[in-house]
Structure formats: structure tokens, C-alpha cells
Structure 1
């Protein structure tokens, strides 16, 4: 029921894009953000009308929020790790030869910025290109903690808050794989319109999105399980969405970029998170924190967690 509701609502929300101008629609971002809340709606339907657990907030991964030190630590990791993953994909892609990079001169970023300014009637850069690049890092922080966080939570309550713990009895590999396939296929209404992988055949774009969702979802899942709640995963998702586009800072001018091969959306960008997920599973770290019965508070949430 969860998968049917999440997928059905996603297609329903995206239907106006299919009937209209697709990715070129002026309302594309509105529909895309609205689609991000469909997994939470699906989780709410299942929790409130099917399972009806006593502690619904716990079933959705919203609690516990203690111990505070653990929560803060995994929130910090939720910000840092996606940034590292997104930026690590760039030199790796450049080394392999699929990412046309200019790390020193920022020539591509300069070219894009000058073109944008020219469209606004401005003839020269208002400040050095390095300063403009630094401002993009500030935008990353703003996007991660403010602009993207609520929509990312709209997805994470469903995917990692509710779904992932339900799949864990099958084992970590199956839980990571199945949740990745479900999450990747859920993106189909936008991917088949050309989102993320423009110019790529639809079937191949879907497979690429499943692979990306599996490796990145594995990282988000670890943050959710070890952090004790969905909040670290939500921040990681928000940060990932903000950091994934910053490859424009380091691309070479007049270059052609294939997102199927380069940046974090391409196969060279999956290497680092895939290695991290394998490492975590083999070390037994892909399992939820546990709490002794004596530490359960009046609201059903543990007052203390242990590894």
C-alpha cells in the first residue's frame, strides 16, 4: 500500500507536466517539490489507517531525539558527508576522463556567470570569480539548512523514516537494494521527462537513477539508523540536493558534460558512496541503535541509546 500510494501520487502530481511543457513548464519546480511530499503522505496513510501503532511519531522516524549529543553528531555528518561525496566525484571523474575540469581557473563557471550577467545587461563581473565561487558555498549552506530541508523531509519520512526499518528484517543488503529500487523507480515521472539525464534513453536513465538512489540511499539509511531518527537523513538529503549542482564551479569552458558518466549523477560519482556503504555494512554499522528497556521514557522514546 505504501509503494502504491507513493508512486500513484507521484504520477498524479507530475501529470500536468506530461500534459503540458514538461521540464520547460514555468511551474516545473512547484510540481517537483509537491511530488517530494508524496512518500510522507503514503507513510501517514499506512501508519494512521493500516498499522495504527501506539507511537506514530516513532513509526515515522520522527523520534527519538535523544541523546542530544548523538543527534547533533549525526546531523553534522548529514551535512558533511553529502558535500564530500558530491565534490569527490569531480576529481575522480576528471582522473578517469569523463569530467572536463578546470579546478584552477574556474573557466566554465566564469563563462556561465558572464553569460548570465550579459542577459541582465551587465558587462563585467562585479567581483573576482573566486569570490563569486565562494558565495556559491554560502548558498550551499542556505540551501541545505533552509530552502531544501522541508521538501527533503517530505521524502525522508517515507523512505528512511518508515520504509527502511520495515525492510531491515530482510538483512542490510536487501534493505538497501529494495529501498533503492523503490526510491529510484519513484523518480520515473520526472526522469522519463529528461530530468537528471537529458538525452539518455528512458530505460537507461531509470536504471541510472536506481543505481544512484541505491548507493546514496544506503548512506542516508545509515544516518537514519545510527542517528536514531529521520532528521540526519533529511539534512543529508537536503544537503545532497544543494551540493549536487556545484560541479558548475569546476567545469571547463566550452565543454560537454554527460551526467550519465560525470558528477554525482554519473557512475563515477557512485564509487565513493558505494565503497562507504559496503564498508559500513561489513563493519556491522548498518543497524539501528538500541535502547535497554529501563531507558524508555513516558512517550515511548528512549532516554538513552547505545551502539
Structure 2
């Protein structure tokens, strides 16, 4: 029986092929993002600019996975989860779209209890109402952008990193994903205008947040067999949960230390449930459907 995360080996992928694929994927993913980020920062562009983010690193993990699958290991795309599978896996899509809203509510509750947020009647206006109305739709609109990371880290790396060890491979994938972000505090995305200490704190906090997110994202990937629910969840975490904390609780910015800590704390119960379910043995994995004409 497979678990709530993953225990299967990638389709047609032997150990040597898997190791070669991991190595090349990581080289391409890290170099392909770190070099453009460094160049952008050196010539005065801030990674806080969404356009700069899109043009530098947003789609690099997906491109690294495509290059690795197609030309390096020649594994093809049979296990890549490209199909929507919406009719069968609509529950995964619903969870992915709505979970960030629930986690936001929990994070705001924690902020209230900890004295980080003191809501007043005058604090709520039409902007808050509009945000809540659009919250379930925002991840859907953003999913094609966050596909750029999930097609690499989740649908390629996690199944190959430590096969048969679902919790360990999820932890390791999340840690590597977090380290991939490490240059960003130095080129304007986190710690912009702050000290070197602020940048180091941002780097450190990116690890637990990425690991926790990968547990939830990996759970969705396992249940759905599609890259799209993970992309939905990733978009919701960035654009509903983080921005919602800024909007309602007034944290300094959507990438502040307070926001990151609240996100980690609010995701912890979800991650704990996933780990327990995984240890006990969860549902059979939804096997990704093979798109027509794709090499198996």
C-alpha cells in the first residue's frame, strides 16, 4: 500500500537514471535562477517587482524538469501529471483553492491571541470584502504562474529524491526548494532595505515554510496525480494567505518575519495531520494519466 505522500519509483526510472536526473535538474534549476537573479540585482532591478520575478526565476524549475526529462534522462512525461483530471479529482482542486482561506483564518486567530492584531470596526472596508470574495478565484488565475515551480520541485524532484521514504523525501524536497530562494533577500525580494541580519533571518525562515508547504503540496499531488492542484495551493499561499495577513493584520509586508512565522504556525496542524496519515498508511496514489502522444 502506498501512503498519503508517495512510495512509488518514477515510471521506467532506474537508480542511475534517477541520480543523473536529480543532479542535472538541480544544476539547471539553481544556476538557471541564481545567475539571472544576480544579474538583475547587479544592474539595479529589484526582485520585489513581479515582472522581474517572472522574467528571471519563476519558470526555471519547470524548464529544468523539461530539459532533464526530454534530453538528459529521456524519461518522457508519462508521470508528469500534466492533465487536469478535474472530473475525478475535483475534491483536490476544491481543497487547494479553499485551504489557504482556512489557514488565513487560523493565522489571523493566532495573531489576535498573540496581540499582533487588534481589529476595530473601522478597519474593514470594501477592499477587505472584495479580497474575500476573490480569494477562491485568485489561486485559479495564478496557477499557470506557479506551475513554473511545481512542475519542477513537486512532480519531478520529490518522487525521485528518496523513493520509498515519503516523509523524508518531502522534507528534503522542501529544504532544497527553500534553499533555492536564498539569493532573493539580497536582491530585493526579502529584506529589501534592511540589514544583512534581516536577509539572513529571511533565508532561515524560508526553510520551515517551504518544508511545510511541500507537505501540503505533496499530499495534493499524491491524491490528484496532477500538477494543477499543487499549483493552486502554492498560488493561494502566496496571494491569499500571505497577502491576506498583510491586508487584515497589517504585518509590515507580505514577506515579513511576522507573516512567515504566522504562516508556519497556521500550517502546522495541517502538516501534522498529513504526517500522521502518512505513517499510518494513506490512500492509493492517483497515477498520472498519460497525455496522448506522450512517450512512456
TM-score (norm 1): 0.75
5+ long unaligned stretches in structure 2: 1-23
Structure 1 residue 168, shift from structure 2 partner: 4.7
Equivalent position to 2:217, from 204, 207, 220: 220
Report if aligned partners of 1:89, 1:262 keep a CA contact under 8 Å in 2: no
Taking structure 1 as reference, are residues 94 and 257 closer, same or farther at Cα in structure 2, changes over 3 Å only?
farther
Please say which of residues 239-248 and 229-238 is displaced more in the overlay: 239-248
Alignment-derived partner of residue 229 in structure 2: 232
Alignment map for 1:75-224 (pairs within 5 Å): 75-97=93-115, 99-102=116-119, 104-105=120-121, 107=123, 129-146=124-141, 148-198=142-192, 199=194, 200-224=197-221
Give the CA deviation at 1:84.
1.6
**Structure 1: how far apart are the matches of 2:220 and 2:188?**
30
Distance 1:191-1:261 versus aligned 2 partners, 3 A rule:
closer
Distance 1:184 1:177 in 2: 11
Tell me: CA distance 1:185–1:288, structure 2 relative to 1, closer, same or farther (3 Å). Answer: farther
Shift of 1:298: 8.0
* Equivalent-residue separation in structure 2 for 1:16 and 1:5 (angstroms): 16
Is 1:289 matched up with 2:285? yes
Structure 2 distance, partners of 1:286, 1:192, is 41
Structure 1 residues 59-114: Cα deviation after superposition (integer angstroms, max 9, x where no partner) = 32214x54x444211001010112222332122123123x2331x4253xxxxxxx
| CA gap 1:221/1:93 in 2 versus in 1, 3 angstroms | same
Q: How far apart, in 2, do the equivalents of 1:258 and 1:47 lie?
A: 35
Bigger RCO (CA 8 Å, 6+ sep)? 2
Counterparts of 1:201 and 1:224, CA distance in 2:
33
Superposed CA RMSD = 3.0
Larger Rg over CA atoms? 1
**1:245-274 CA distances to partner (integer Å, 9 max, x unpaired)?**
12233236xx867965523x12x3212322
The unaligned stretches of length 5 or more in structure 1 are 108-128, 302-307
Show the counterpart of 1:33.
Answer: 54
Task: Say if 1:191 and 1:205, in contact at 8 Å, map to a contact too.
Answer: yes
- Aligned in 2, Cα 1:233/1:241: closer, same or farther, shift over 3 Å? same
Of 37, 43, 49, the residue aligned with 1:14 is 37
Question: Following the alignment from structure 1 to structure 2, what is the Cα–Cα distance between the partners of residues 169 and 274?
Answer: 24
- Following TM superposition, by how much is the alpha carbon of 1:175 offset from its aligned partner in structure 2, in angstroms? 1.1
Aligned residues: 264
TM-score under structure 2 length normalisation: 0.78
